[in-house]
Amino acid sequence: MKNILVIGSTGQIGSELTTELRKRYGGDHVVAGYIPGAEPKGELAEGGPSAIADVTNGEQLKEVASKYHIDTIYNLAALLSVVAEQKPRLAWRIGIDGLWNILEVARENKCAVFTPSSIGSFGPNTPHVGTPQDTIQRPRTIYGVSKVTTELISDYYFHKYGVDTRAVRFPGLISYVTPPGGGTTDYAVDIYYAAVRGEKFVCPIKEGTLMDMMYMPDGLHAAISLMEADPSRLIHRNAFNVAAMSFAPETIYAEIKKVIPDFQMVYDVDPLKQSIAESWPDSMDDSAARSEWDWKPQYDLPTMTKDMIEKLRVKLL
């Protein structure tokens, strides 16, 4: 039986991943790790155990891992790309020093570890269209630098110590549950909130800027199915390209207008977000994930849009 620790359980991905893991493995087997000030509430607090698990505190992680007999860690502690540019030292402390602490606990306790990478691990010199699984990764954001380092250190622990590390490179994740905080792809979430609230949306990303995106149910499915995959089939580990859809602002706007015809969008381009977006792939090639662990997304832009609007109408109106 798996005993799982989710670090960052109250964040954008963690809040939904913890609930999904509890459905699959039982509430008692999934510990919601959090930092003070971001305590689990409601279903997250009630659905199973929770514990303070600050990645910058290695001793604390060790205690939690041994108390709950943890054998699998989903490490979702990170700053998103725009916030990380404002606090690069903190981004490194959480993303890399924190990961080091986790990998040490995993080595001692023989835990599997999932630490997401991102489209942000690519940079301006990366081939932008059909970005291959194995290609140039020279990001210029601290977010990207820490994601590439995450991939390398995770592979290092696998090859050197046999720690079962696996990861995907997530596209921008879109969800109606917990809003993202401070990412470049956040506009593709914010646009739905504006549309459902009947507000005009001010888009910070320039027309024509393509980025990979994914609906959260597919993101959760990617993480869990990779961690459950047969290790003998894995040629890659850290980290797999996973893709579901790629669009520019005008495309998502047009899709929302099919459901909410009065919806209006104007542009007020944010130079930092725009330069980050332009350095990322237009669309990734995820054939390695498809062949090594049968990755396949369920949602495209029209089906995601329909579901987002339905769910946000219930949540907001």
Catalytic residues: 143
CB of 173 to ligand SER, least distance (A): 6
Position 84, amino acid: A
Find all residues with CB under 8 Å of 151, minimum gap 6, and list them: 117, 121, 137, 167, 238, 239
DSSP 195-236: HHHTPPEEE-S-TT--EEEEEHHHHHHHHHHHHHS-GGG-S-
Query: Strands 201-203 and 165-166, how do they pair?
Result: unpaired
- State the residue number with the nearest CB to ligand SER: 183
CB of 104 to ligand SER, least distance (A): 25
Q: Which of 270, 231, 232 is nearest to 249 (CA)?
A: 270
Residue from the set 4, 112, 119, 223 that interacts with ligand SER by CB under 6 A:
119
191-197, long-range: CB within 8 Å, 24+ apart, which pairs? 191/249, 191/252, 191/253, 191/256, 191/265, 192/256, 192/305, 192/308, 192/309, 192/312, 193/312, 193/316, 194/263, 195/256, 195/260, 195/263, 195/309, 196/260, 196/309, 196/312, 196/313, 196/316, 196/317, 197/316
Tokens of 194: 């504006």
In angstroms, the CA 269 to CA 252 distance is 16
Residue number with CB closer to ligand SER (174 or 194): 174
According to the binding rule CB under 6 A, does residue 247 interact with ligand SER? no
According to the binding rule CB under 6 A, does residue 11 interact with ligand SER? no
Stretch that binds ligand SER, among 52-60, 118-126, 132-140, 294-302 (CB under 6 A): 118-126
Place of tokens 């290092």: 156
Helix, strand, or coil (residue 257): helix
CB of 209 to ligand SER, least distance (A): 13
According to the binding rule CB under 6 A, does residue 222 interact with ligand SER? no
According to the binding rule CB under 6 A, does residue 120 interact with ligand SER? yes
The phi and psi torsions of 9 (rounded to 5 degrees) equal: -70, -15
Stretch that binds ligand SER, among 90-98, 114-122, 187-195, 223-231 (CB under 6 A): 114-122
* Interface with ligand SER: number of residues (CB under 6 A): 11
According to the binding rule CB under 6 A, does residue 81 interact with ligand SER? yes
According to the binding rule CB under 6 A, does residue 146 interact with ligand SER? no
According to the binding rule CB under 6 A, does residue 154 interact with ligand SER? no
Residue number with CB closer to ligand SER (11 or 183): 183
Q: Which DSSP state fits 120?
A: G
According to the binding rule CB under 6 A, does residue 123 interact with ligand SER? no
Stretch that binds ligand SER, among 60-68, 153-161, 182-190, 247-255 (CB under 6 A): 182-190
Give the other-Cβ count within 10 Å of 195's Cβ: 25
Residue from the set 34, 122, 170, 192 that interacts with ligand SER by CB under 6 A:
170
Residue number with CB closer to ligand SER (143 or 240): 143
According to the binding rule CB under 6 A, does residue 64 interact with ligand SER? no
According to the binding rule CB under 6 A, does residue 175 interact with ligand SER? no
By CB under 6 A, name the binding residues for ligand SER. 80-81, 118-120, 143, 170, 172, 183-185
